[in-house]
A and B are shown apart, each in its own frame.
Chain A
Amino acid sequence: MDPTTRTAAELAAGIHSGELSSVEVTRSHLERIAKVDSEINAFLHVETEGALATAEKVDADIAAGRRPASPLAGVPLGLKDVLTTKGIPTTCGSRTLEGWIPPYDATVTRKLREADVVVLGKTNMDEFAMGSSTENSAYGPTRNPWDTTRVPGGSSGGSAAALAAFQAPVTVGTDTGGSVRQPGALTGTVGVKPTYGGVSRYGLVAFSSSLDQAGPCARTVLDAALLHEVIGGHDPMDSTSLNAPVPPVVEAARRGASGDLRGLRVGVVTELGGEGYQPGVLRSFAAAVDTLRELGAEVAEVSCPNFEYALSAYYLIAPSECSSNLARFDAMRYGLRVADDGTNGADDVMSLSREAGFGAEVKRRIIIGTYALSAGYYDAYYGSAQKVRSLVTRDFDAAYDQVDVLVSPTAPTTAFRVGERVDDPMSMYRADLCTIPTNLAGTAAMSVPSGLSDEDGLPVGLQIMAPALADDRMYEVGAAYERARDAAAGGALADRIPEL
């Protein structure tokens, strides 16, 4: 059987029992990347030698009877190009970091290395994680394996597409306003935004510090859980990292697979649906809610009135933080430097390098954020947005008093066509309508495929949200739902991805 179609859990079991070799598994994924990535463009860098070296080490360990370093030892993975990798280029999808080789590993990278996970390479993304389609990458858009005329969502579009194109069984993405979940929905894969502080941000090149969170992407809920436990946990290098144990997500995913959700209270968020949503998405969502009910869950409708303002608040907070975070790209220490021909002063070299290095969307957000933080506007914009943020958090608190998890569609539509929304930022921003509230509140959420939309045959995502540090709860629900969905459809959704 082709190793690229198997799950990470299956590959790990095979490798650790000696039945499969990590080198073979790694090679087949590298070959798959070589075969399909000219079409998909999910990878910005492929680390062939490093990947094979890790795989060889794992095979040698297993042959020598040593315990694998982690449950995912020897399993290949793609890493979003926003996490630093010592000795391996990190571009953040931007021209400004072309050729930059970080001298240090992100904590996520370090944990993956320590776990002997095989890092295949760095995945494509919207520049500095700003975008919902991966069209904002300076290195060309990533295509959706379900239909290569369509986008895979973003900003972690490369990480999601790599899963759907069977280039990797697991990947790491980052989610600031939905950047893991929305691509998961659009590619029919699982994407998780852990509780803020659950995964270290050290070495995650910041877009919006108070919202950014790295999370696992996979084709199954269990695979996501296995990766979550490898990358999660407290990190003294990140002062916003939570000093709490990683919620037992693997155990929860396994328990959920038994398919019993009796006693679970599920809230359907009134404000996340209805007008402006694609009818096929709403039908898929309604069917998913029925499935949860059939599994024994009690379903109720819950209102979160302030979610209405979440998108606006997000597009003030995130650009504000971004305008400050991206100030460091000034050509003085690293990155693209232009106009340094002896005729320009430092100020001009800085401006001209930033002009040349950043794409249009990044510039737009820097300008919005700079404006929102300006004297005289701060209270009206950044200040008001922070108040909305508190109100959204309160809505969640009130909702979780009534129910255990909340559900909604992950995105209002299925995958849109490449180029369709590039000139209409507002319609692009609306792709994150359902995912943003969770980032504002710092709570947890995941997207699990809920099948295909009946009108266009494209994947739809079910968003399951849980309170802070109750990540395990959504894994249990997600795994139960996934099993029921596959049973009803007569097989895994991934089996229906068209041949490339």
Chain B
Amino acid sequence: MTTKTETMDYDEVLERFDPVLGLEVHVELSTRTKMFCGCPNAFGGEPNTHVCPTCLGLPGALPVVNGSAVESAIRIGLGLNCEIAGWCRFARKNYFYPDMPKNFQTSQYDEPIAFDGYLDVELGDGETVRVGIERAHMEEDTGKSLHVGGATGRIHGADYSLLDYNRAGVPLIEIVTKPITGAGRRAPEVARAYVTALRDLLRAMGVSDVRMDQGSLRCDANVSLSPKGDEAFGTRSETKNVNSLRSVERAVRYEMTRQATLLSRGERVVQETRHFQEADGTTSAGRPKETSEDYRYFPEPDLVPIAPSSAWVEELRSTLPELPWERRRRIQQEWQLTDEELRDLVNTGAADVVAATVDAGAPVDDARSWWVQFLTEQANSRGVDLADLPVTPAQVARVIALISEGTLTNKLGREVVLGVLAGEGDPDEVIASRGLEVVSDDSALTAAIDEALAAQPDVVEKIRGGKVQAAGAIVGAVMKATQGQADAKRVRELILQRCGAE
């Protein structure tokens, strides 16, 4: 039996329903060590090499709270305008899963470290929406399962599974919004803008590398629909596996349409976890949540309560770095941008990276042109957000500096950045390994010039006869022979010199 699903038109969805969103974002903190042990907190690594008795959950091993993770949690809470708890505890969330070493996750339940805040989110047209923050709490990440065999890549149907506990115990902050209502048509856009703003905030605070593609920032989107004018929330679905900003927007929109279609046919929305499919922008059913899992939360007896003193909280508040909205206000003034120019910069995702590049020593115009042109092209061709490109503002600033001091040409600079994007290391490493430095050694150049001059005696005659612009042909030949690594200006000078036409 195959029934073709007639999906409802988006306009009709909005005529009949009001969407309600709830966004849960998990952020991996970039602390040096894990949440409850001294193992390195590093992405990747040979499987099961960043582990110890504690993060493997060996019998008898105990957790000890990572102080800098608590500090990051408080900073995040402050950045989100939250109240910071004067006293709070960890709790155990009990459920069985092979990649969770203790079969409980040490998390926070009814006593989060930060609660009741908001984040102001700017949409593409400059309109600002205030998203309420329910809570931000600390917890540990699980390990990773690799299910081998089977069609779905999930545990059911797999032949066997491989477990890597390197990620087990990595510090996470879970940030949960209050229900976002009234966004209407713009709900998908609000969702994306919220995650974007949150990512920019976390990056500015330096607490996480916020890479959606590597899972250091993960978003679960809860979506429900209420019939127009009905106050009560509908049944929600929770979509996971939303790995880019674009996917956040697509997933919300898809779920709105899917649910509206079901409801309009008189069917009901099943409360369940759904998985976003990047390829076609749809979601598919996962674990049903009808019988809501009972996690049997209780206060973690292995850890003492956390009671951040108000003096410490105030110190952290006073040492918060410049936050994205403050930075935008500042750059608008300093760079004398109109509202629209600033918004363009923000909407392409370039504002913060440009500013950071400028902070790293690059001139504003160079920084802007690199990010808005070359790097935006690179991001688009890779289908990632500008800020998720694997190149840092500091690396871009370094390339700009090398160009301005003549070590690199613009063309070589672009090649260096491509090397960085390919994971070959810092600009200087790429230059060394690819041998990209401008050939500034005159003796190496003169050999190439003499060869080119000997090959084109007619041109030499023209130059000697005063037609200096004819030198261009020789310059081209020399640049070709040196594979573009010569400084064209210097080549020209040398040609003229050797032809006695200075």
Contact = CB atoms under 8 A, between A and B. Distances in A.
Interface string B45-77: 000000001001111111111000000000000
Given A83-B60, A240-B301, A346-B161, 11 more contacts: A202-B62, A203-B60, A210-B301, A239-B65, A239-B304, A320-B298, A323-B94, A324-B104, A332-B98, A333-B57, A378-B298
B298 A373 contact: yes
Residue from the set A90, A240, A382 with the largest chain B CB neighbour count within 10 Å: A240
A327 B94 contact: yes
Given A238-B62, A346-B98, A382 B57 contact: no
A89 to B, nearest CB: 12
Interface of B: 53, 56-65, 92, 94, 96, 98, 101-104, 155-156, 161, 163, 294, 296-298, 301-304
A408 B294 CA distance: 42
A185 to B, nearest CB: 27
Contact of B59 (A97, A320, A375): A97
Contact of B53 (A104, A320, A323): A104
Interface of A: 83-84, 90, 92, 97, 100, 102-104, 106, 201-206, 208-210, 236-240, 320-321, 323-324, 327-330, 332-334, 345-347, 350, 370, 373-375, 378, 382
B162 to A, nearest CB: 12
9 contacts: A206-B302, A210-B301, A236-B64, A239-B62, A324-B94, A345-B156, A346-B98, A346-B155, A378-B296
A102 B98 contact: no
3 A-B pairs with the lowest CB-CB distances in the bound complex, closest first: A327-B103, A373-B296, A209-B301
Contacts of B65: 239
A204 B58 CA distance: 11
B53 A103 contact: yes
Contacts of A373: 94, 296-298
A204 B302 CA distance: 12
B155 to A, nearest CB: 6
B101 A204 contact: no
A467 B56 CA distance: 36
Contacts of B304: 239-240
Contact of B102 (A204, A327, A347): A327
B495 to A, nearest CB: 71
B62 A237 contact: yes
Nearest to A84: B60
A330 B98 contact: yes
Contacts of A204: 60
Q: Which of B58, B104, B155 has the most CB of A within 10 A?
A: B58
Nearest to B294: A375
Given A239-B303, A347-B96, A201 B53 contact: no
B37 to A, nearest CB: 9
Nearest to A204: B60
A471 to B, nearest CB: 20
A104 to B, nearest CB: 5
B294 to A, nearest CB: 5
B103 A333 contact: no
B104 to A, nearest CB: 5
A177 B104 CA distance: 24
Nearest to B56: A333
Given A238-B62, A239-B64, A330-B98, A324 B294 contact: no
A218 to B, nearest CB: 24
Nearest to A211: B301
B369 to A, nearest CB: 52
Contacts, number: 103
Contacts of B294: 374-375
Contacts of A83: 60
Contacts of B101: 328, 333
Contacts of A346: 98, 155, 161
Contact of A327 (B56, B60, B64, B96): B96
A90 B103 CA distance: 21
A209 to B, nearest CB: 4
Contact of B61 (A203, A240, A327, A332): A203
Given A237-B64, A327-B104, A84 B298 contact: no
B62 A201 contact: yes
A248 B57 CA distance: 35
Contacts of B94: 323-324, 327, 373
Central interface residue in A84, A237, A321, A328, by most chain B CB within 10 Å = A328
A332 B163 contact: yes
Contacts of B53: 102-104
B59 A350 contact: no
Given A209-B301, A237-B64, A324 B59 contact: no
A92 B60 CA distance: 11
Which one of B56, B60, B92 has the greatest number of beta carbons of chain A within 10 Å? B60
Contacts of B302: 206, 209, 239-240
B60 A328 contact: no
A106 B63 CA distance: 14
B301 A350 contact: no
A84 B57 contact: no
Contacts of B64: 236-239
A374 B296 contact: yes
Nearest to A83: B60
A378 to B, nearest CB: 7
Contact of B92 (A102, A203, A324): A324
Nearest to B57: A328
Contacts of A106: 60
Contacts of A324: 92, 94, 104, 296, 298
Contacts of A328: 57, 59, 101-103
A373 B297 CA distance: 7
Contacts of A347: 96
Contacts of A329: 59
Contact of A350 (B63, B96, B163): B96
Contacts of A239: 62-65, 302-304
Nearest to B161: A346
- Highest count of chain B CB atoms <10 Å: which of A83, A209, A323, A324: A324
Nearest to B292: A375
B59 A84 contact: yes
Nearest to B59: A205
A181 B301 CA distance: 23
A141 B94 CA distance: 33
A375 B297 CA distance: 9
